Amino acid sequence: MAPVLRPTPVEVSDSLSGLCRREVLLKPEHRQRTGSFKIRGAYNFVSRLPGGGEVVAASAGNHAQGVALAAQLSGMRATVFMPVHASAPKVDATRGYGATVRLVGEFYDEAMDAARRYAEERELVVVPPFDHPLVIAGQGTIGLELVTEAPDAATVVVPVGGGGLISGIAAALRLSGHPARIIGVQAAGAAAMKASLAAGHLVALERISTMADGIAPRAVSVLTLEHVESYVDSVVTVAEDELAKAMLLLLERAKAVVEPAGAAAVATLLAGKIPDADGPSLAIVSGGNLDLHLLSRLIGA
């Protein structure tokens, strides 16, 4: 996959290291093509389909752009269903990668229903946002990169929504023999993985409350829950004010535009929620597709 990715080599953050009182490394996937890691899983899935056809997806954000670019790179068409309130820059960016965008429904679930109907009628494939081995393996290429880019990391902190990203990274690190602790982080108002781990089975949340829309599905999947049970050391949560503080520090000190989900791992380190270990702590900065009006409100607050 390397030829289609932009290199995002791990970097030391002097300023965050000072603020967290430990060495902090960042994996800057907000600078990945499409502005998030989602291109990895989408491309790994889409590029294995027969060429020339059409793929379908539903997403309010990063997965939409990932699928659109993956299809473009694979010589396929993409039709992406997005909720009607999806932010204009995300819709424009998805169209910019050549996809046809259909605005359907108030929420993600309705857009996904429409995507499934559209795909069934035409016998097309829906690209899953996280619940598929090829998508998980694609996200796992980050873990393979960490083996060489951060061999001495003692802790790797990964934002968790549906769990595709942490499943891939944790499997890659564990199966490569990398010794780091692997910690997942969820927004406290959207902690479906943590609830499912506690229950020992899938738990769907009734209510979601977080600005971190990139990690806010109602439920994870059996596949990602099993990966997390097998390979991840623990899952913690962060509050909204901790996310906001991390986003502003990343802006001001690391010069990085990071969306709320993308700042979750850094927020966890800043909040001192993970005991120090004997080696650097690495935060996966998963995405940077930030609504500038949200940013403006955070600065003003």
Binding site for a copy of itself (CB under 8 A): 6, 11-12, 14-15, 18, 30-31, 33, 35, 89, 93, 96, 248, 251-258, 288, 290, 292-293, 295-296, 299-300
Task: For 36, list phi and psi in degrees, rounded to 5.
Answer: -160, 170
Report the nearest approach of a copy of itself to the CB of residue 32 (Å): 9
Residues 6+ apart with CB under 8 A from 243: 187, 210, 211, 212, 260, 263, 264, 267
Question: Of 190 and 254, which CB lies nearer to a copy of itself in the complex structure?
Answer: 254
Q: Decide whether 199 or 299 has the Cβ nearer to a copy of itself.
A: 299
Q: Which is nearer to a copy of itself, 34 or 268 (CB)?
A: 34
Q: What is the closest distance, in whole angstroms, from the C-beta atom of residue 296 to a copy of itself in the complex?
A: 4
What does the alpha-carbon distance between residue 267 and residue 289 come to, in Å, rounded to a whole number? 17
| DSSP 8-state symbol, 145 | H
Distance CA 158, CA 1 (A): 21
What letter does residue 234 receive in the DSSP assignment? E
| Least CB distance to a copy of itself at residue 51 (A) | 22
- The answer for residues whose C-beta is within 8 angstroms of residue 78's C-beta and 6 or more apart is 54, 55, 56, 57, 67, 68, 70, 71, 72, 97, 98, 99, 100
Question: Smallest distance, Å, CB 231 to a copy of itself?
Answer: 29
Nearer to a copy of itself, 171 or 256 (CB): 256
CB of 7 to a copy of itself, least distance (A): 8
As given in the structure block, the two tokens for residue 104 are 């359907």
The answer to whether 286 is a known catalytic residue is: yes
Contact status, residue 249 vs residue 266, Cβ threshold 8 Å: yes
C-beta closer to a copy of itself: residue 27 or 132:
27
In the complex, minimum distance from the CB of residue 258 to a copy of itself, in angstroms, rounded to a whole number: 8
Say which amino acid occupies 125.
V
Q: Which is nearer to a copy of itself, 205 or 298 (CB)?
A: 298
C-alpha span between 63 and 101 (Å, rounded): 13
| For helices 133-149 and 38-46, angle between their N-to-C axes, nearest 10 degrees | 130
Catalytic residue, chosen from 13, 27, 38, 221, is: 38
Catalytically annotated residue among 13, 47, 59, 286: 286
Cα atoms found within 13 Å of the Cα of residue 170, Cβ hemisphere only: 25
- Indicate which residues carry an active-site annotation: 38, 286
